[in-house]
Each structure stands twice: as C-alpha cells, then as structure tokens.
C-alpha cells in the first residue's frame, strides 16, 4: 500500500514539475532570418510602428471612452469577469515608460510583463507571438512618441478562481506555445503576407475562434466565438463568415468600407473596420483576402446554444412575429424579406440572420445595428433599436418568424435569451 502511495505521489510530483516547466519555460529563439513579411522597409521605424498599431487595432482596447489615447481603462467583459486594459503610454509610473524594447518584445512574444508577471491571454499574445522582432521593435519605437498619460491602471474584476494569476502557469502549459511566424514555402508571397496579417498583428482568431471552458482556442471546433456579448462567426464555415466563394474585390470592399454587395459589419466588427481595417494599405487588404479565400472550408455547428423553444409554441410565435414584422419591419426589409437597397439588407437567405447562434440578431433588434462611417460608406444607413418598444417575447417572436420565413431555416429564439442580452449594447 505504501509503495503504491509513493508511486502515485511520484507520478503526481513529476506531472506538477512538467506542468511548471511547460508553463514557465522561456520561448525558443526565433529563426535568425525571421523578417516581417510586410514590405515596409521604406518607412522609418516610427512610421512603421504607427501602421502596425493600426493593423493591430491597439487603440480600440487600450483607450477608454473619453480617455487619453492608449491610457488604458477600457472594460473588456468576458465569461471570467471584466478585464481593464492597461496604460501603454510612456508614462514612467502608470504606463510602460520604464520598459525596454526587450521587455516589450517579451510581452508580445511570450506574454510576460517587464517584471516577469504572466499576462492574461485577453491580451492576445497568443497571436502576437507570431510577430517578428523587427515589427515589435518598430511598434515599440512608435509607442515612445505617444503622449505620456498618468492614468493609473485599474485592477481586473474576475471571478474566483480566475483571479488567481498563478493558474496561468497551467494554462500556458496546456494551451500556449510561443513562436514567430514562418513562411510556408508551399504558398506564394501574397498568401504568406495574408497569413502573417491574419494570424499575427491582425489577431483575427482572438475573436473568430471557438474557445473551450478555460478560454483557450479549440481548433477542433469550427464555430466562431462569443466576444463582448456578440457572436464572431467562423471565418472557415461557409454558412457563417467564410468567404471562400467570394471574389477578392468583395472581401476587400467589406473590410475597407464596412459594407459590400452582400454583407455589412455591425457591433464590434464595425469598430474594427472604423479604427483599423479602413486604414490598411491596399496590398495588405488584398493579401488578407487572398489568404481568407484559401482557408479550408468547414461545416458550421447546428446548435447555437441558448434556451430551446418547445416545438408546440413555435407556430404561435411565428404568427405573432409575422404581425410584428408587417407593422414594423416590412417597409424597409420588404414583405418577402427582399430588402430595400441601399437602406435595408435582404433578410431572406441572409446568413447573418440564420446563424445557429441568435446573439447578433437579438442584439441588433434590441439595440440597433450601425455599419461604420468610412470613406467608402460615409453616410451609412442604420437599423433603429426596438428594445424600448418590444418586450422580450415580442423580440423572440419576430426573430423566430424571420429566421423561419422565406426559405430561412434557423432555430427559434427564446424570450429567455432575449432577456439575457438586454444589457449594455457596448456598440
């Protein structure tokens, strides 16, 4: 018995030691010839860094509403609690003014602060680790030119046990491997440039990826992710946000203008277009489109979660929803859901309406939907909010009708899910 006990104890101790080593081990040295796929050598380091900050949409997270640029404080709600983005201005007390370029590289590449503190992966170092050292140094050079702001950092408000930072050792051991992007020799230069943008500074998978119960990406699951109380649809599933069947020109138009022939961006994605994508260089937009079109297509999950609606009540909900639609929606979206361009998109056959997850449709009806104002779409039409006018049941009724009419075939929406999503719209 004692021998078995000590054997199990030894196995547990070895497992703990391995977990500790995996979670705290230094990252491998990047390849000596690792250079950024972004051909920006004509720019100064500062101008290159300014553009990289735009590519990464750094301002959106690190700037609170009405706050100084990059002074932190913006709330980022997650299933684990609320994170508050830190001050990354050169202020020596509140910001990162005492950091070195090496410290900054360590944060991006290995998820560690200047003092070695492990960073929560809400800061997407799991993507930024793909960035090259020359791009990190350029971004660092530009950050030194940002006006220093004395705004103090705010502590995260996390639920137990997620407020125990020591648990990040185990998380990193299980889910994080540092590594700079390496070009795929089987692909052309444009594909590799797009892959670097999407996987690295653009950090698209930080939103558009399914995650497990511990917040780690789940590559085996093709679904998108719930981010900031919106659903970021899968970029590989044709029924969600896959664009493998689109032309490169249409992809670029939507990413740059926020609106294209068959799609509009709303919610957090509208902010990404406004703050970041509309300012990308054309060759980078083209490279991203080239890469996204060649992602292997997957099948979207049929179950979007949420509360199931009993079959026996669906016909009544659809009948009530049809009446509401005729009264409030048909003037813009058409009697048959055909839409009224350019003001209102068609709802018949609309894949955003038919996502397995009804989250985005619910939030648009409750809080309205507004594409960003861009150079290519300077006066965007918007969807007015109905949350003040419709009850939870009425929102569920009209969406249950729309998601099942004109050939649409999505699951009904429950009033319980509507009630859960009535919180702050954030966008």
When pLDDT is cut at 50, 70 and 90, the band that residue 107 belongs to is very high
Structure confidence by residue, pLDDT tens digits, 15-66: 444 444 445 556 665 655 567 777 655 578 999 999 999 999 999 999 999 9
Instruction: Please determine, for residue 4, whether its predicted confidence score (pLDDT) is greater than 80.
Output: no
Do the Cβ atoms of 335 and 344 come closer than 8 Å? no
The topology (CATH level 3) of 311-420 is Cytochrome Bc1 Complex; Chain D, domain 2 (1.10.760)
Question: 221 or 354: which carries more pLDDT confidence?
Answer: 354
Distance, in Å, from the CA atom of 209 to the CA atom of 58, rounded to the nearest integer, reads 19
Mean pLDDT, the chain, rounded, equals 90
Structure confidence by residue, pLDDT tens digits, 302-312: 888 888 999 99
Structure confidence by residue, pLDDT tens digits, 155-171: 999 999 999 999 999 99
When pLDDT is cut at 50, 70 and 90, the band that residue 11 belongs to is very low
Q: What is the pLDDT of residue 357?
A: 93
Q: What is the pLDDT of residue 199?
A: 96
Q: What is the pLDDT of residue 33?
A: 56
pLDDT cut 90: percent of the chain above it: 77
Buried b (16+ CB within 10 A) or exposed e, 366-390: bbbbbbbbbeebeebbebebbbeeb
Phi then psi for residue 330, to 5 deg, are -65, -30
Global pTM exceeds 0.85: yes
Q: What is the pLDDT of residue 22?
A: 47
What residue segments make up the domains of the chain, in order of their start? 27-175, 189-293, 311-420
Q: What is the pLDDT of residue 24?
A: 52
Question: 142 or 261: which carries more pLDDT confidence?
Answer: 142
Q: What is the pLDDT of residue 225?
A: 80
Instruction: Please determine, for residue 120, whether its predicted confidence score (pLDDT) is greater than 80.
Output: yes
Q: What is the pLDDT of residue 218?
A: 79
Distance, in Å, from the CA atom of 200 to the CA atom of 56, rounded to the nearest integer, reads 8
User: Can you tell me the mean pLDDT for 228-238?
Assistant: 91
User: Can you tell me the mean pLDDT for 277-302?
Assistant: 94
User: Can you tell me the mean pLDDT for 119-138?
Assistant: 96
């Amino acid at each position: 018995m004692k021998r078995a006990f000590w054997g199990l104890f030894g196995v547990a101790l070895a497992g703990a030691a391995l977990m500790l080593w995996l979670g705290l081990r230094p990252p491998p040295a990047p390849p000596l010839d690792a250079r950024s796929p972004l051909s920006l050598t004509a720019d100064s380091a500062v101008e290159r860094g300014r553009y990289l900050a735009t590519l990464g949409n750094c301002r959106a997270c690190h700037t609170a509403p009405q706050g100084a640029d990059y002074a932190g404080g913006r709330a980022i709600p997650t299933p684990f609690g609320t994170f508050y983005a830190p001050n990354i201005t050169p202020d020596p007390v509140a910001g990162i003014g005492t950091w070195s370029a090496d410290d900054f590289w360590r944060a991006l590449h290995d998820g560690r602060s200047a003092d070695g503190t492990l960073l929560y992966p809400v800061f997407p170092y799991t993507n930024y680790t793909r960035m090259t050292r020359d791009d990190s140094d350029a971004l660092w050079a530009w950050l030194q030119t940002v006006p220093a702001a004395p705004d103090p950092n705010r502590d995260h408000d996390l639920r137990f046990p997620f407020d125990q930072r020591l648990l990040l050792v185990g998380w990193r051991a299980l889910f994080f491997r540092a590594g700079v992007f390496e070009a795929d020799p089987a692909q052309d230069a444009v594909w590799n440039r797009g892959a670097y943008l999407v996987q690295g500074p653009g950090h698209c998978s930080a939103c558009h990826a399914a995650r497990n119960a511990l917040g780690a990406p789940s590559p085996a699951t093709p679904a998108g992710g719930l981010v900031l109380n919106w659903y970021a649809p899968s970029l590989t599933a044709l029924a969600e946000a896959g664009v493998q069947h689109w032309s490169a020109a249409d992809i670029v138009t939507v990413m740059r203008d926020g609106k294209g022939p068959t799609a509009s961006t709303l919610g957090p994605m509208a902010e990404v277009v406004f703050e970041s994508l509309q300012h990308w260089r054309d060759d980078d937009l083209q490279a991203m489109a080239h890469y996204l079109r060649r992602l292997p297509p997957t099948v979207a999950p049929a179950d979007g979660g949420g509360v199931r609606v009993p079959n026996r009540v669906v016909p009544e909900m659809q009948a009530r929803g049809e009446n509401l639609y005729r009264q409030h929606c048909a003037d813009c979206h058409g009697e048959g859901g055909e839409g009224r361009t350019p003001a209102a998109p068609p709802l018949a056959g609309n894949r955003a309406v038919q996502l397995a997850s009804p989250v985005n449709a619910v939030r648009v009806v409750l809080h309205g939907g507004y594409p960003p104002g861009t150079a290519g779409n300077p006066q965007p039409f918007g969807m007015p909010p109905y949350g003040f006018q419709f009850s939870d049941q009425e929102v569920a009724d009209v969406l249950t009708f729309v998601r099942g009419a004109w050939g649409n075939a999505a699951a009904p929406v429950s009033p319980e899910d509507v009630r859960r999503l009535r919180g702050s719209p954030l966008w």
